Amino acid sequence: MATHAFLLAAALLSLLCFHAIASDPSLLQDFCVVDKMSTVRVNGFPCKDAKDVVAEDFFFQGLDMAGNTTNKQGSAVTPVNVAQIAGLNTLGISLARIDYAPFGLNPPHTHPRGTEILTVLDGSLYVGFVTSNPDNKLIAKVLNKGDVFVFPEGLIHFQFNYGTKSAVALAALSSQNPGVITVANAVFGSKPSISDDVLAKAFQVDKQTIDRIQAQF
């Protein structure tokens, strides 16, 4: 009986230890402002001395200015993450402004390290995300000014301005550095290129079609 109790206790302790290792660690200080001069490489960024921290480390200016949407997609993303605000390091949050020209698109993409919650500030957007295999279900909705929509972490999603007026949205993300992978750019614009044989088979088209698509990236 004592042996069984010991084994049970050991198993529970193992589970607790695994959970502690698998979860993000809690912040052990007030903040960890990025030390941009450090040559140390860590998962994230090293901290600079707290006595050298200033208000500018937590400040960003210019989010009121519209991004330049004169591009093929007709959209512009202005990120505000740890690259722009050093004080976001270890805080697990960031945001972005997205501007859309009429019929502008923020193309299908994914954030591998963060969930996104998006609010429409002006205009209307058709938004959606696709669930993972095998269902690949499209969950989509038309949003108007003041509406909010959530894109779960890692899932492919998009926003499209189907209207004749410009639109603006503000997105918050659950990571200081959520990352972004634009599907078309990654698949057809990788360097070096993915083999025509691979892409032609994956998309069930001929190699000439793949070549024409790759030429756009």
Residues tagged in the binding site annotation for Mn(2+)? 109, 111, 116, 157
DSSP states along 43-61: SS-PBPPGGG--GGGG---
For the annotated binding site, the residues are 106, 109, 111, 116, 157
Helix (H, G, I), strand (E, B) or coil at 44: coil
> In b/e form, how buried is each residue of 122-134, taking b as 16+ CB within 10 angstroms?
ebbbebbbbeeee
How many other C-beta atoms are found inside a 10 Å radius of the C-beta of residue 137? 10
Taken in order 4, 6, 9, 11, is the CA torsion positive or negative?
negative
CA-CA distance, 15 to 20, in Å (whole number)?
9
Which amino acid is located at 37 in the chain?
M
Detail the residues annotated as belonging to a binding site for oxalate: 106, 111, 116
Tokens of 118: 């998006």
Q: Decide if 103 contacts 161 (C-beta within 8 A).
A: yes
Nearest to 117 by CA among 180, 169, 79, 173: 173
